[in-house]
């Protein structure tokens, strides 16, 4: 069910230590009004991991739909940077 899926995502183990030791670039696209993941926490996580990030100021959890053009621009800029 949807509830079980959300609980599984919430309860999964942290990958922060694994991501700290990565050998690839990482970039977050964050919805300012995401009801599942607080933007402030994701920004802090990105900064901890020395990862890039963009904040979609008009989006919640589905920025690729809510701000399609901005999301595509963020993805394109990231691809250009690697």
Query: Does residue 5 register a pLDDT over 90?
Result: no
Query: Both tokens of residue 67?
Result: 């701000």
| Model pTM score | 0.83
Reported as a single tens digit per residue, the pLDDT across 46-74 is: 999 999 999 999 999 999 999 999 999 99
Please report the pLDDT score of residue 6 as a whole number: 79
Please report the pLDDT score of residue 76 as a whole number: 98
Give the integer Cα–Cα distance in Å for 79 and 73: 10
Number of domains in the chain: 1
Rounded alpha-carbon distances, angstroms, from residue 25 to 7, 8, 9:
28, 26, 23
Give start and end residues of each alpha helix (H) in 1-82: 2-11, 16-20, 39-48, 63-66, 68-81
Give the integer Cα–Cα distance in Å for 66 and 59: 6
Please report the pLDDT score of residue 61 as a whole number: 95
Q: Domain of residue 25: give its range.
A: 2-81
């Amino acid at each position: 069910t949807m509830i079980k899926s959300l609980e599984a995502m919430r309860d999964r183990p942290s990958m922060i230590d694994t991501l700290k030791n990565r050998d690839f670039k990482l970039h977050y696209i964050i919805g300012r009004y995401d009801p599942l993941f607080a933007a402030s926490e994701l920004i802090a996580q990105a900064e901890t991991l020395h990862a890039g990030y963009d904040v979609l100021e008009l989006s919640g959890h589905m920025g690729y739909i809510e701000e399609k053009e901005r999301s595509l621009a963020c993805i394109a800029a990231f691809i250009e940077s690697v």
